[in-house]
Every structure is written in structure tokens, then in C-alpha cells.
Structure 1
Amino acid sequence: MSDLTSAPTDPTQPTDPIAPGAIRKVIAAATDDAHQMLHRHAWISRLIAPSLHLQDYTRLLAAYYQFYLSVEHARACTRSYDTLSVRGAIAALHADLTALGAVPETSSAPDLSYLDTAPKVLGALYVMHGSSFGARQMRSNIKRVLPDAPRAYFETPTASPIWHHLTTQLDATGGTSSTRDTVITAANQTFVRFGAFVTFRCEQQD
């Protein structure tokens, strides 16, 4: 499985370059509405609530685990970005769920069929790796409210070299506006699908 040095671009498309390092800000701005919706998500917001229960925490971990597995499957199917794999997050989530005796079956997988090209997968990886930055407040609350709960996932943020490599790959999408738009659309879809799947997976058990 090879790692792409850049997202494929169409040589027939006019270039519309963005300065190195700026593409992440462009994507962040273009996906901010979808991102902020997750902060207000009925289930995910429980991770920062003082009333967080172990049962809800376990359900959320299971939903995260299944979603990460599906993103990783899409990445592997497109044979792209091996060094940006989310296997580390999957292993941490599996460890937490094993400790809780709650490793789920993989039958309730989200539909991520839209992740069928490398640029689209890159958009999803931006969401998944970037999520660890927003997990800091969650990590603090979980430690305070559920001190005995396993926290391998929340204690394992995206490593700096991986994030640096991700931003390098995002810079490589600045060659054409069409490729950049593809990454942005996929990132927005991933934010939305993630929220929808968490709701489905958590409420499925009620």
C-alpha cells in the first residue's frame, strides 16, 4: 500500500495556488459550520458534561470505533496516504472498549461510499486527525467525571509528525480549485456523516 505524495490533479484544470500552510485555514473556514454542529451534538457534547455516565461514554467510544474503522477501510481501498492511517486511533479505541468489555460488532458500519478517491479520503483524514485537537476539553472532563474509565483514545492525540504530513498533503491540493473543492466537500460530508452515525449508533441501544 503506497503513500501518495500529493492528491492527483487534473492537468487540464487551471492552477489556482494557495500559499503553503494556508490551505488548512481555507478548509477550516469552509467546514466550520459542519464542525461547530458537532460541538452542539446531543451525544458528543455529553463528553464535556459534568453528568457524563459510563454507559454513554461507552456508547460514544463504540460509535467512534466503528466510524474510524470505516474511514481506515476507505483509505486502504484507495491505496492512499498510508502514513496518515488512523490505525493508532483504532487501536486506542479498541483498548478502551476491551477494558469496558464492550467491543462492538462491525456490522453497524456507516456508509462512507463517497470516499472513493484519494482527495476525498484526504478530506476525511483531515477531520479524523484534527478531531484530537478538540478532544482536550473532553479529556479533562472525562478524567474528572469518570476517573476510573479507560481513556487510551482521548490520551492519544494525533502525533505532530502525522499532522505535519497531513498539512503537507493538504498544501499539495492547492494546484487546482477543483481538487481543493473535492477535499472540502469530503471533509464537510465526513463531519455530517460522523454526527449522524454517532446519533444512530448511540440511540440504537436505547
Structure 2
Amino acid sequence: MSTRHALREATAAAHERLHGLAPFRALAEGRIDAPAYIRLLRRLLGFHAAIEAALEAAPPLGAYGIDLAQRRRSGLLRQDLAHFGAAAEAPAAPVPDLGTAARALGALYVTEGSTLGGRQLARSLDHLLPAGGSAGRAFLLGHGAAHGAMWAACCAAIEAGGAEPGGLGGMVAGAKGTFAAFEAWFGTPEC
């Protein structure tokens, strides 16, 4: 079994619960309104800015071919908020400790994995935004044309890290901790 498949199995329940969270359900069903979408963008900004900082503070992932600067998406959230004329600020979410490269790769699995579903969700905003454009939905569109190559590089890094002693266990801990932090952040009252 590949490391990525093992991570998917280990985090399947948490991933499924996230689909049931009210703002994501409304987004997926194409019934989110502008104020709710702006609140969602701010919550996402609070989480992504915090997890990006935690990844930067973690042991470097360059040996695995990962350039974290290319993978930052908090700037895209700020762009989306600016499109709506909303303040591009949010309190930082509590995130897990990513003190090992394996834990950081587990967190990266979660954040990069979210780009897969984001592209589908972007289409559900056609009732709020001009169809086909990126304005207001840049975060959901993720890495754009580079998406396939970025995901392939992430998967290669995960497999390489999983081949190391304790790698899979560390990645599972990092992924589960990241999913738990995300779920808790979206379970708290709006800021």
C-alpha cells in the first residue's frame, strides 16, 4: 500500500466530517450567499496563514522537493476577500506542532489535498461570481495550471517520507492533527 493511500485511509473519517460542516455544505450545494462566503474566506485565511507559518517553522522539506513558498495560498484568500471589498485579516487558528519533517509532510498532505476538491467547489460560485473567472475564487482554484505538477510533487514527497523509518506514523500524526485543528477551528464561533 502506498503511503498516500495509507494516509487517505487513516484520515477518511475526519475528511468526511469536514464535508458535512455547514459552510462547506452550502458552498458545495451552490447556495452560499456573499456574506457567508466572506465569513468562510476569513475562517480559511485564519487557518491557512497559521498552518503556513507552522510549516515554515518545521524542519525544511526541500530534501523532498517541496518549496513551501510556491504552495502558500493565504495570499489567494486575501485576493478573494479584496474582490468583495472585505478586510483581508483574520485571527490565527490554533494548529498542531509540526516538529518533524514527517509531521510537516502529513500537514502538507491535508493542505495540498484540499486543492483537489477546491477546483470543483469553485464552479459552485457561479451564482455569485462571473462564470469561468478566477476573481473571488482564486483560493479554490489553487495552483491553476501548475496544479497537476504540484500535486504529483507532493505525492512523490509523501512516498519518499513514508519510506523513512517512522515516516508513515509521523505523517499520520501530522495529517490527523491538521484535520483536527481545521475541524475545531470551523466548530468555534465566528470571529
Please give the range of the TM-score, normalised by the shorter of the 2 chains. Answer: 0.7 to 0.9
Shift of 1:193: 1.1
Report if the CA contact (8 A) 2:161-2:167 is conserved.
Answer: yes
Partner residue in 1 for 2:140 = 154
The Cα RMSD (Å) is 2.1
After TM superposition, the score normalised by the length of structure 2 is: 0.84
Partner residue in 2 for 1:130 = 113
Distance 1:50 1:175, change over 3 A: closer
Report if the CA contact (8 A) 1:35-1:191 is conserved.
Answer: yes
Report if the CA contact (8 A) 1:129-1:163 is conserved.
Answer: yes
What amino acid is aligned across from residue 146 of structure 1 in structure 2? L
Uncovered stretches (5+) of structure 2, i.e. residues with no partner: none
Higher helix share: 2
Paired positions, count: 181
Bigger Rg, which one:
1
Partner residue in 2 for 1:95 = 79
Distance 1:63 1:86, change over 3 A: farther
Report if the CA contact (8 A) 1:31-1:188 is conserved.
Answer: yes
- Helix, strand or coil at the partner of 1:146: coil
Matched, 1:192 2:180: yes
The structure, 1 or 2, with the larger RCO (C-alpha pairs under 8 Å, 6+ apart) is 1
CA distance, structure 2, for counterparts of residue 86 and residue 123 of structure 1: 17
CA distance, structure 2, for counterparts of residue 112 and residue 55 of structure 1: 26
Among 160, 163, 174, the residue aligned to 1:175: 163
CA distance, structure 1, for counterparts of residue 70 and residue 52 of structure 2: 6
> 1:69-121 deviations in whole A, cap 9, x for unaligned?
11111111124235144654222111111122223434x21122422222111
Matched, 1:118 2:98: no
Partner residue in 2 for 1:15 = none
Distance 1:164 1:119, change over 3 A: same
Q: Percent identity?
A: 28
Distance 1:73 1:87, change over 3 A: same
CA distance, structure 1, for counterparts of residue 72 and residue 38 of structure 2: 19
CA distance, structure 1, for counterparts of residue 174 and residue 3 of structure 2: 15
